[in-house]
């Protein structure tokens, strides 16, 4: 089994593709579970209609760091942010937009 602490540290460094901040700091990754047969995490999005390419890029980036630590991505649960979480996300997005 991969080292849970190493996987969590690696995931904390994964940045949003369009916002110069880690997904964890944006409140987009939670409930990371490292099990014998892989890793499960929850991707929390501001709304369900985010572009599929952006969502897939974020999941792929997390998958890459999980695999680099010797594990596999078992599952991703998608949830929508609460109003409070969304407000915080948009403030951080505005301050750190790469565009």
Domain ranges of the chain: 4-88
Q: H or E stretch including 41?
A: strand 38-45
* pLDDT given for residue 99 in this prediction: 74
Percent of the chain with pLDDT over 70: 99
Predicted TM-score (pTM) of the model is 0.94
Structure tokens at 36: 């014998």
Q: Kindly indicate the confidence band of residue 93, based on its pLDDT and cuts at 50, 70 and 90.
A: very high
Domain 4-88 in CATH 3.30.300.130? The answer is yes
Residue 21 DSSP symbol: S
* C-alpha distances out from residue 34 to 9, 48, 69, Å: 12, 26, 11
């Amino acid at each position: 089994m991969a080292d849970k602490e190493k996987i969590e540290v690696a995931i904390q460094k994964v940045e949003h593709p369009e916002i110069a901040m880690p997904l964890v700091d944006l409140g987009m990754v939670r409930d990371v579970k490292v099990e014998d047969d892989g890793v499960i995490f929850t991707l929390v999005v501001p709304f369900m209609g985010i572009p599929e390419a952006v969502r897939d890029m974020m999941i792929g980036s997390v998958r890459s760091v999980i695999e680099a630590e010797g594990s596999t991505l078992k599952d991703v649960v998608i949830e929508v942010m609460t109003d409070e979480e969304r407000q915080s996300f948009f403030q951080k997005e505005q301050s750190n937009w790469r565009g």
